[in-house]
Amino acid sequence: MKLTVNNQLVGLADWRQVWLSPLKIELGTQAKQRVAESADLVTDVLRSGKQVYGVNTGFGQLAQVRVSADDLARLQENLVRSHAVGVGKNLPDAVVRLVMTMKIVALAEGFSGVRLELIEALCALVNHDIYPCIPEKGSVGASGDLAPLAHLAGVLIGVGEARVKGTVVPAQVALSEAGIEPLALAPKEGLALLNGTQVSTALALAAVFRCENVLSAAIAAGAMSSDAVQGSDTPFDKRIQNVRGHGGQIAVAGVLRQLMKGSEIRASHIACERVQDPYSVRCQPQVVGACLDVLRHVSKVLQTEANAVTDNPLVFADSNAVLSGGNFHAEPVALAADYLALAIAEIGSLAERRIALLIDAHLSGLPAFLVKEGGLNSGFMMAQVTAAALTSENKTYAHPASVDSIPTSANQEDHVSMATFAARRLHDMLDNVAHVIAIELLAAAQGVEFHRPKRSSADIEAIISMIREVSPAFDEDRSLSADIARVAELIGAGRFCRYSESVLPSMNL
């Protein structure tokens, strides 16, 4: 992928591509001009002798301390060094690539007062697949993602570490690989790099893309389970969805209808006496559709934030103004992440209930625990317990992070968003749900195969074939742990998105 940043809106599909694979990035002519004008205004302000926060003052509660002209470069470097206090595992390269690209897009808008040289150094790192080592913990999501972004900024000045082709090397070695020298930061540049919501937003946006993979697999698994238990597709009739009117519900029902179209199993029991199916089958459009609506809403919020200017103060060259505000406060990201957490938990909750249905011979009409010679074999008994454990764990993760503000910087920053954790915990939840749905896919494939020689729909049979490539049929007891992991990898690789691509935000925004 090649991305020319020229003050245009970067779309969700492009952000997904940035997450998926390395890219080449450059600035367009208009962006370069706006950056130069913004940097010139900072120089003019300094010459005028005006006091401007973060340019010739201290930071946080020390904002009233004036810094002499001789110490301005040291001020910015000290800011980067002192704020690089993150802890924990390093963020994945895919997330760091999103962070760096978002920072380039934000700085290139021309409201941050940085030099073109700084942005081009960031571009050089991205273009050479060099990713600063950014610890995942240490940000409260206000005044920007200060600690993690300090680790990013540190590499530009030759401090810290970076990954080059998967190997961790000192920052100066990484810069040499990119063909650049360590930067001497100009006034405002350290602050412009550290202020911003890019880490929170990148984590949340990566969760959106992973959630698309998970939701697609959940719809496929739900269709398979419905056929396995000889459920009715009448609840998916478009007339039912249309009179309620929710877009997500209408979309999910349409995908379910397509997935089940032409099933011999469904045709074999159209005239059966069963009146209604359990909610986990019958209400899939209403539940998963509502989750899709959440995903669509969150995607729009994050697309806006990914293109936003979120540092402080902001430099408006067209009106010769430098204004201090609070765009660094990541509340929009925190609330969006908390909202998405609820949807992720519900996707897993419904899938777990269908697994319980599949293994219950009294409700499913299938052999108990989906295995021949039950008693001698325990079948999917414990797989459902694992699904229940993961589903219950996600209930705790779903507690909102955004309501847990804690004051920092001697009460100067007295309300924070906790957006970074709000977004980061989504990935633990998605890991859990991917495994829950993997278990359902295995169980549903087993259930459909008990109806042989009748066949399911062409799509469901294709899905079963995909599953059987990594997990053979369950004829007698064996450990399913490796099978679950392999099917979860299929989910993570987006192998089920083809069945739902018409409804996924990153393919339609």
Instruction: Provide the β-strand partners of residue 316.
Output: 321
Q: How many CA atoms lie within 13 A of 416 on its CB side?
A: 28
Q: How many CB atoms lie within 10 A of CB 381?
A: 15
Q: Is 53 a catalytic residue?
A: yes
Helix axis angle for 146-156 and 198-228, nearest 10°, is 120
Instruction: Using the structure block, give the residue that is written with the tokens 């991205």.
Output: 126
φ and ψ at residue 147, rounded to 5 degrees: -65, -50
Contact predicate 265/230, CB 8 Å: yes
Catalytic-role residue among 53, 279, 339, 397: 53
- Estimate to the nearest angstrom the gap between the alpha carbon of 44 and the chain centroid: 40
**Cα dihedral value 373, 376, 379, 384, nearest 10:** 130
Is cis: bond before 453, omega within 30 of 0?
yes
Smallest Cα–Cα separation from 447: which of 226, 283, 154, 117?
Answer: 226
Contact predicate 374/395, CB 8 Å: no
Q: Is 161 helix (H, G, I), strand (E, B) or coil?
A: strand
Tokens standing for residue 151: 């680790």
Tokens standing for residue 302: 């994050």
Q: Terminus-to-terminus CA distance in the chain, angstroms?
A: 18
Q: How many CB atoms lie within 10 A of CB 127?
A: 17
3-state secondary structure 19-69: HHCCCEEEECHHHHHHHHHHHHHHHHHHHHCCCCCCCCECCHHHCCCECCH
Cα–Cα distances in angstroms (integers) from residue 355 to residues 180, 341, 374, in the given order: 55, 21, 17
Environment class of 42 (CB within 10 Å of its CB; exposed 0-12, middle 13-18, buried 19+) = buried
Cα–Cα distances in angstroms (integers) from residue 384 to residues 43, 131, 210, 266, 485, in the given order: 64, 40, 23, 25, 15
Task: Please tell me the total number of residues recorded for the chain in this structure.
Answer: 509
Contact predicate 204/340, CB 8 Å: yes
**Cα dihedral value 358, 361, 364, 366, nearest 10:** 90
The residue type found at 241 is Q
Distance CA 229, CA 265 (A): 10
**Geometric angle at alpha carbon 392, from 387 and 398, rounded to 5°:** 125
Catalytic residues: 53
